[in-house]
Structures are given as structure tokens and as C-alpha cells.
Amino acid sequence: DTAVSQTPKYLVTQMGNDKSIKCEQNLGHDTMYWYKQDSKKFLKIMFSYNNKELIINETVPNRFSPKSPDKAHLNLHINSLELGDSAVYFCASSPPGLAGSEQYFGPGTRLTVT
């Protein structure tokens, strides 16, 4: 009974392609996030959704477009992939009440752009 799951776990693709990463949480949380972890392991927030509404959009290129079909799912679509997009992308969720506090992370998707 995985709490926060992501697919795929690994994604290898060529520059210029479009790809999507899917995230699902079965914790009943209202808020979901996408984080990017670079090669130096630095973690940075990209987006946050609360009940399907975008609430945080950091300075991320508009080639990245998150979509939340319902509060249990948050997908990330990336257009025109670039070498610099290679990273590990983590989805996370947090419960209502203490919004943003206890965040639970998925296993990550390692994206490699060649």
C-alpha cells in the first residue's frame, strides 16, 4: 500500500522530446508538490497544488506544465526536453490542517535527457 507513488521510475529520452511523469497519493492529502533534485542532490520546489488548484509556481520554464485531475493525482508534463532537465523529480503530498508541514515524498523519477 504505497503512500505516494510515481511512474515511471526511470525515464531516458532525447532532447526535444515531450514526456510526462505521473504521481498518485492514497493518503487523502489535499496538497501535492513537485520537487527537482539536481546532480548535487539539491532539492527545490517546482509546483504545489491544493485541491486541484495551483498555489505555488516557482521560476520554472513554461515547458513544464503540471496538471491535477483530482486531489489524489498530480502529473508533470515536460515539453521540448533539454539536457539541463536531467534530474530526479519527486512528488510529495501533505495533509490538510498543517498545510505544507509534514510532506511525504514519492520514490522519485530519474529523468535522463541525451
Partner 1 sequence: QQQVKQSPQSLIVQKGGISIINCAYENTAFDYFPWYQQFPGKGPALLIAIRPDVSEKKEGRFTISFNKSAKQFSLHIMDSQPGDSATYFCAANITGTASKLTFGTGTRLQVTL
Q: What are phi and psi of 71, to 5 degrees?
A: -75, -10
Binding track, positions 59-88, relative to partner 1; x by CB under 8 A: ------------------------------
Residues 48, 60 contacting (CB under 8 angstroms): no
Contacts of 51 (CB under 8 A, 6+ apart): 30, 31, 71
Q: Is 103 in the site for partner 1 (CB under 8 A)?
A: yes
Contacts of 18 (CB under 8 A, 6+ apart): 77, 78, 79, 80, 81
Q: Judged by CB under 8 A, which stretch of 13-21, 60-68, 70-78, 92-100 contacts partner 1?
A: 92-100
Q: Is 105 in the site for partner 1 (CB under 8 A)?
A: yes
Rg value, the chain, Cα: 13
* Binding positions for partner 1, 29-48, rule CB under 8 A: 31, 33, 35, 40-45, 48
Residues at the contact surface with partner 1, assessed by CB under 8 A: 4, 31, 33, 35, 40-45, 48, 50, 55-56, 58, 90, 92, 94, 98-108
